[in-house]
Amino acid sequence: MEKYKVFIDTQAKQDLKEIFIYMAINDGSSLANKLLETLEEACYKLEEFPERGHIPQELKQTGINKYLEIHSNPYRIIYEIEKNIIYIHCVLDGRRDIQEILNERMLR
């Protein structure tokens, strides 16, 4: 079985930072740390099962099918596989307007 490596790009790191800060302010740093660990764990589990995601509906509608997503409710982790590297591009709160965010980031 081929081994994959996960790379969390700058924008996804910023997403994680913003999620952590929001959670720490509203729910405390202990819960924010637990959430961050859960999200990072979900990202790194892709090393073993990168194809388990599905194409985000918002991108499928535009004909873009090179990105996949997994869920760590309510968060959506959007990534791309190139050879044996998994690029995490976004970690988004699924309760937000995902279409608008993806339009800004990926449809440029």
The CATH number of whichever domain residue 29 belongs to comes to 3.30.2310.20
Is residue 82 classed as helix, strand or coil in its secondary structure?
A: strand
Is residue 6 classed as helix, strand or coil in its secondary structure?
A: strand
- What is the pTM (predicted TM-score) of this model? 0.91
46, 40 Cβ separation under 8 angstroms: no
Q: Residue 30 belongs to what domain range?
A: 5-105
Q: What is the pLDDT of residues 6-37, one digit of tens each?
A: 999 999 999 999 999 999 999 999 999 999 99
Count of domains forming the chain: 1
Average pLDDT of every residue of the chain: 92
Distance CA 32, CA 12 (A): 16
Which tokens hold the place of 24?
Answer: 């720490």
> Residue 86: pLDDT above 60?
yes
> Of 38, 23, 19, 14, which is closest to residue 88 (Cα–Cα)?
14
